[in-house]
Amino acid sequence: MRWLTALRSGNGRHVAGTGTGTGTGTGTGSNGPDSERGAATVIVAIMIVVLMGFAAIAVDVGAMYAEKAQLQNGADSSALAIAGDCANGSCGDVDATGALLANANSNDSTSGVSSITFPSATTVRVETNTREAGSGANTFSLFFARVMGFETTDIRAVAEATWGAPNAATTLPWTISQCVFEQYLSPSQLAELNSTGNFTGDPIPTHILLRYDENTPDYPGCVPQNGYAEGGFGWLDRDTGCSADINIAEAEIGNDPGNDFPNECTGILAGLMGEPILVPIFSTATGTGQHATYGLVGFIAFQVTGYKFGGGPSLTNLDPAAPSCTGNCRGIQGFFTRYVSLEEGLSTSGGTPNYGATSVWLSK
């Protein structure tokens, strides 16, 4: 075997040594520089594909998630809007409502509404889909994923909204007689409420004065003094501040006797007339004074238009369209109406009659 070895002599010079072997050492074998360049080309080609895959994940998948979020917002808002219309008595043109809000929640103002259905009498289901702004095709164009053969994809979102009468809520600590409320329903509305637990249309919007003093007028067919328990004028036991946690399933709530306006409630006066409020209604009142209780049956919507609570001008803001409240009169003015609430904290389990106050929520 012959072979050459470079040896360093003691004085730093290189000398040639000899050996035996079968190779010539000319650099023309399979391990030469040309073969290394070929291997590098293959590796670079593989890495490009891998990098394009990561780019597809980073760019295309990120864009898909953004598109999905827009579609979900459109589906949610469409479902809530349609449910709110239905809760108010007329669902209206559901296709137009769905298309309007789906497009409004899209960055390019273009989304599709695949379907709008009603799985139940009080639930609406909206499905939205992606749509190309230019062509109108129901697809989402990809960019880097085209290298791997994926040019478009289909993206969809679904939302369901349900409406119904709340059976639990935090409200103003005051209650109204069911009998008094029913005085402001038409005969057909009252018959419908008694037979179905709901009624069509709004209550009669007569501005009234609900007095809670000793001169409360009687309503025909109703218990005197608005049905309030002896020694009580409709004020309820409070839980936190100027509020009462009402649960219709528990049926009864305690009475706060006397006709003084609760001191904890003075802070709410500025916003009391801003929008309809939820008020629990009672069908029975038993006991007297501090031991009296009211049997609650549901919630009504009442628009406050004026009040006189006693204690000076700061607690008086009267509505001239309602019966007057002068002298020792204390009361709340306003009218019965419908109210659809999207507020969190309202609980609805079904079975509670709908007296005009309705909760709407996303159920899916």
pLDDT in tens, 144-187: 777 677 888 999 999 999 998 988 888 888 899 999 999 999 99
Question: Contact at 8 Å (CB) between 125 and 158?
Answer: yes
- Residues 345 and 306 occupy one common structural domain: yes
Is 27 domain-assigned?
no
Tell me, yes or no, whether 173 and 236 share the same domain: yes
Q: Are residues 249 and 211 in the same domain?
A: yes
Total domains in the fold of the chain: 2
What are the pLDDT digits (tens) for 73-107? Answer: 999 999 999 999 998 888 999 999 999 999 999 98
- Rounded to whole angstroms, the Cα distance separating 310 from 297 reads 30
327 Ramachandran zone, left/alpha/beta (phi>0; psi -120 to 50): left
User: Could you tell me the residue range of the domain that residue 116 belongs to?
Assistant: 64-164
Residues 192 and 147 in one domain: no
Residues 237 and 263 in one domain: yes
Do 227 and 152 have their domain in common?
Answer: no
Same domain, residue pair 352 and 211: yes
Within this chain, do residues 347 and 231 fall inside the same structural domain, yes or no?
A: yes
313 inside domain: yes
- E strand segments, 131-234: 140-141, 152-153, 156-164, 168-171, 176-177, 208-211
69 alpha carbon, distance to own chain's centre = 15
Residue 209 covered by a domain: yes
Query: Do 117 and 243 sit in the same domain of this protein?
Result: no
Residue 227 lies in a domain: yes
Minimum mean pLDDT range among 71-75, 177-181, 246-250, 299-303: 246-250
Write down which residue in 149, 164, 179 finishes a domain: 164
**Rounded-to-integer distance, Cα 314 and Cα 307, Å:** 11
- How many whole angstroms from its chain centre is CA 206? 32
